[in-house]
Copies of this chain bind each other. A is one copy, B any other.
Amino acid sequence: MQDSVQKISFKAQQLKFREDAILDAVNHLLARKGFDLMTMDEVAAEVGIAKASLYKHFASKEALASASMARLIDRAIAVVHEMPGTLSPLDKLKGLVRWAVTSHLANTMPLLPSTRSSIQQTLTNYPPYMEKVGRLIEALGLWIEQAQANGSLSASLPGEVILYTIFARSCDPVADFLKLGGAFSDHEIVEILVKTCFDGMTRDKSAS
Q: State whether A32 touches B157 (Cβ < 8 A).
A: no
Q: Is A154 an interface residue (CB 8 A)?
A: yes
Interface hits, A157-208 → B, CB 8 Å:
157-158, 160-162, 164-165, 167-168, 171-174, 176-178, 180-181, 183, 192, 196-205
* Contacting pair B37 A165 (CB below 8 A): no
Tell me how many chains of this kind the complex includes.
Answer: 2
Asked if A26 CB lies within 8 Å of chain B CBs, one says no
Question: Which residues of chain B have C-beta atoms less than 8 A from A40's C-beta?
Answer: none
Decide if A154 touches B114 in the complex (CB within 8 Å).
no
Name the residue on B nearest A158 (C-beta).
Answer: B183
Q: How far is the CB of A9 from chain B (nearest CB, A)?
A: 40
List residues of chain A with CB under 8 Å of any chain B CB. 32-34, 36-37, 90, 111, 113-116, 118, 152-158, 160-162, 164-165, 167-168, 171-174, 176-178, 180-181, 183, 192, 196-205
